[in-house]
Amino acid sequence: MTFAFILPTTSPVNFTTSFASSSAPSLPSATTTRRALLRDTLKRFKRLTPAEQYNNLPSLLSSVSEYLPYLYTVDAYITSQDITPLTEFETEWRAVLSRRTVPTELPRIRRKGLDYEICFATATLAYVHTLRARTFLATAIQAPPPTDNNATNTSVHLINQAKDQMLTAASIFLYLQNRSATSERGVAGMQPMPADVTTSIYNALWSLCLASATLLAVLKDDPYPSIVALQHDKNSKEWMYKAPTMPTRGRSLLLARLCMYSADMAGKAAAGVAATPSSGAELKGYCEDLAKTAKAKACRFLGVDAEGQGKLGEAIGWVLAGKEVLGMVVGGEGDKGKLGRGLDMLKKAREERKMEKAPMEALLGPDAGKMEEAMVLNELERRWRRINDSVNFHKVEPTSSLLAMLPTGRPVFPENQTWTPPKLSSSELLQLQTQAPNGGEIDWTGVDDSDDDDIDARGEGSMPPGGFPRSQSTGYY
């Protein structure tokens, strides 16, 4: 439910060669030091294994959070003319969202202007928040089954933390979208910009984060993924006799509308990525998969609502509609609707992607939860068809008429919450105003600019973009 962004890396930059300040003489050198620390942290992060990367995310978040107040203070000082430009500022970042034309890693792209640096550094903060959301979600999914209310509350708390991380990322991307669209300095100039710093990509990422946050809000009240988690545990037979608690009718309709909103936002994200010619296909594919998963969930909740009213034929029709959205239905309307070859094809595609990556990805899913949702739909259809074929004998409603009845989406979070750039405090500015240039600061300008950050140590156990962590435990919550 959250995309696995690859973090960019960057080359050294010395702010003292491009800026000078009479009111805060140490500001350029202090900014250089904080940026060098961030650059070093990003390079070290890239060499870590996936497990080490997850543990290192708080340190990385701290590094970028310490650098940004200095960077935005420099930007504010330029606006107020408290900083004098000496030479044109240039910076170099690796464009991780751009189209990959060769098998090797994309090269760093150098562009002029402080906004280029601001956009990449700020987007890195949003990427880190998204990766932290994945960590919280994976922890909640892999948690042992709850034995009391405290355990349940712990899992819900983890999902809430993941949701909050995604909302923070969404607010950052909204800020970058507004800045790139309205900034007089801009990031473009005469040179073409990588997809990573375009307004259309920021809009797409904002939509994607809102879609993910909405699905995380639904996840707290969705009992059905526990079926998948329980079936993954070979030692547990609980799923054979313990049905999940059904949400009430009004709650089912609300969850369906939230899922439709998530599907709409994910669809907008896919369109935004497609509108950027230089963007990569991986992000677009994930957005499309998330839109399908969210829409299929909406069909499932509408099926739950119909089953609660005794309309078992309509409920089965909604399940088939959800499977049709996922592309899993094989055969016509008269088919029993079992996943059959459709699920086998999806599993085969996932296995092929795992083989391209690493064996540890057997625990993960790179398709925004499509296969997990298909398994839930298949289990519900099996259960409802058995009852209908032996007791009710209701006619199964055609999927075409049901899909035309899908409700409009309903947002659950404000869409206009924008991130506020951090600035240095009055005490920090006072220290910079009284401190001589390079006073107490380490000289990072001579750091070796090697390309050893190209080494990708993620290898075994790496998580694919948008992977849905699957549990080996006996419970979902």
Q: Using CB atoms within 10 A of its CB, is residue 10 exposed (0-12), middle (13-18) or buried (19+)?
A: buried
Q: Considering only CA atoms, which of 18, 51, 55 is closest in space to residue 35?
A: 18
Q: Are 22 and 436 in contact (CB under 8 A)?
A: no
Residue labelled with tokens 């491009």: 18
Domain range summary for the chain, segments of one domain joined by +: 15-454
The pLDDT tens digits along the chain (477 residues) read: 789 899 999 999 999 999 998 888 999 999 999 999 999 999 999 999 888 898 999 999 999 999 999 999 999 999 888 888 999 999 999 999 987 766 666 778 999 999 999 999 999 999 999 999 998 988 887 765 555 555 557 778 889 999 999 999 999 999 999 999 876 444 444 678 889 999 999 999 999 999 999 999 998 888 776 555 444 444 544 444 444 565 666 788 999 999 999 999 999 999 999 988 888 888 999 999 999 999 999 999 999 999 989 899 999 999 999 999 998 764 444 444 444 455 555 555 555 444 344 333 333 456 888 888 988 898 899 989 999 888 878 899 999 999 999 999 999 999 999 999 999 999 998 888 877 666 545 554 445 455 555 544 444 444 445 444 444 433 332
Q: Considering only CA atoms, which of 27, 2, 3, 1 is closest in space to residue 15?
A: 27
Q: Are 442 and 237 in contact (CB under 8 A)?
A: no
Please calculate the CA angle 371-155-216 and round it to the nearest 5 degrees. Answer: 50
- Angle separating helix axes 199-219 and 281-308, nearest 10 degrees: 30
What are the residues whose beta carbons fall under 8 Å from the beta carbon of 220, sequence distance 6 or more? 156, 159, 160
Q: Considering only CA atoms, which of 377, 471, 417 is closest in space to residue 137?
A: 471
What are the residues whose beta carbons fall under 8 Å from the beta carbon of 447, sequence distance 6 or more? 12, 36, 39, 40
Residue labelled with tokens 């009240």: 221
Measure the CA–CA gap between 347 and 353, rounded to whole angstroms: 10
E-assigned strand segments in 102-150: 108-112
Q: For the domain 15-454, what is the CATH code?
A: 1.25.40.280
What is the number of alpha carbons within 13 Å of residue 95 lying toward its C-beta?
A: 22
Residue labelled with tokens 């085969």: 348
* Global confidence as pTM: 0.85
Give, for 84, the enclosing helix (H) or strand (E): strand 83-85
Q: Are 295 and 260 in contact (CB under 8 A)?
A: yes
Say what the pLDDT of residue 67 is.
98
Say what the pLDDT of residue 474 is.
34
Looking at residue 188, its amino acid is A
Q: Using CB atoms within 10 A of its CB, is residue 346 exposed (0-12), middle (13-18) or buried (19+)?
A: buried
Burial of 440-474, coded b for 16+ CB within 10 Å and e otherwise, reads: ebeebeeeeeeeebeeeebeebbbbbbbbbbbeeb
Please calculate the CA angle 463-467-468 and round it to the nearest 5 degrees. Answer: 125
- Angle separating helix axes 114-141 and 199-219, nearest 10 degrees: 20
Residue length, the chain?
477
